[in-house]
């Protein structure tokens, strides 16, 4: 049994796999101890954005063979990034997950997380690169932190994002939410104009807010990074 763990900027997600099939997923870090107690895990793989070694050390103490994802591992896609050592592990894993869904196809993966990342894998199964943009909460916090009077908005308190805000709160909401919507739609159209039969896959904590707002056909995969991690683990020999 495989264990895939994604340690992000704000969350820790984990999933158990039997070969390529996901058995269960967990989004609370405190659930990891229960998982380790209840299941016999042969191998684990970790994607992390920082230098938090706590989970890795815990796995190794239990005798679980643990791999930390980096661009030097064998991958089912070819990394064409000019600085692969700077490429985030979550971007690699998510791209591998998107490739597994649509092999030999032009795929744009969009991760709505702390940052919004766009990653493109071409039909030759090559990771070409992408773009990094401020995420939703980063935009709300920036407007609040870098101005004297603008309030910090909680988007979960609103159910609609009108184009024309009739007060300051709704104006901020419109700028951020409709700004992201327009940005994403524009980037998708740019890729569609350049690459035939493009597939678009969305993941990340804020994906649910935006997939329904977007006009493009998008495949939502909330556990795409974990699925990609498991693909990488299976691709590498024990």
What does the alpha-carbon distance between residue 66 and residue 44 come to, in Å, rounded to a whole number?
A: 5
167 catalytically annotated: no
Angle at 182 between CA 181 and CA 187, to 5 degrees: 100
- Catalytic residue (one of 6, 90, 111, 206): 90
What does the alpha-carbon distance between residue 151 and residue 143 come to, in Å, rounded to a whole number?
A: 8
User: What DSSP letter does each residue of 73-139 carry, written as one string?
Assistant: S--SSEE--S-GGGS-HHHHHHHHHHHHHSTTS-EEEEEESSEEEEEEE-TTSEEEEEEEEE-HHHH
Catalytic residues: 90
């Amino acid at each position: 049994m495989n264990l895939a763990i994604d340690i992000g900027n704000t969350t820790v997600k984990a999933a158990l796999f039997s070969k390529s099939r996901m058995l269960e997923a967990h989004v609370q870090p405190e659930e990891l101890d229960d998982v380790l107690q209840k299941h016999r895990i042969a191998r684990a793989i970790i994607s992390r954005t920082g230098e938090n070694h706590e989970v890795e050390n815990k796995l190794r103490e239990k005798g679980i063979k643990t791999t930390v994802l980096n661009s030097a591992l064998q991958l089912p896609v070819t990394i064409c990034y000019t600085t692969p050592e700077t490429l985030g592990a979550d971007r690699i894993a998510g791209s591998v997950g998107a490739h597994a869904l649509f092999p030999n196809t032009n795929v744009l993966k969009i991760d709505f997380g702390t940052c919004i990342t766009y990653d493109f894998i071409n039909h030759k199964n090559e990771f070409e690169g992408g773009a990094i943009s401020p995420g939703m909460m980063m935009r709300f916090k920036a407007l609040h932190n870098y101005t004297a009077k603008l309030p910090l908005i909680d988007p979960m308190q609103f159910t609609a994002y009108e184009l024309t805000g009739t007060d300051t709160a709704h104006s901020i909401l419109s700028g951020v939410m409709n700004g992201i919507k327009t940005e994403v739609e524009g980037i998708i159209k740019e890729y569609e104009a350049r690459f035939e039969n493009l597939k678009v896959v969305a993941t990340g904590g804020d994906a649910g807010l935006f997939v329904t707002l977007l006009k493009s056909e998008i495949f939502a995969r909330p556990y795409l990074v974990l699925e990609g991690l498991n693909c990488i683990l299976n691709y590498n020999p024990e």
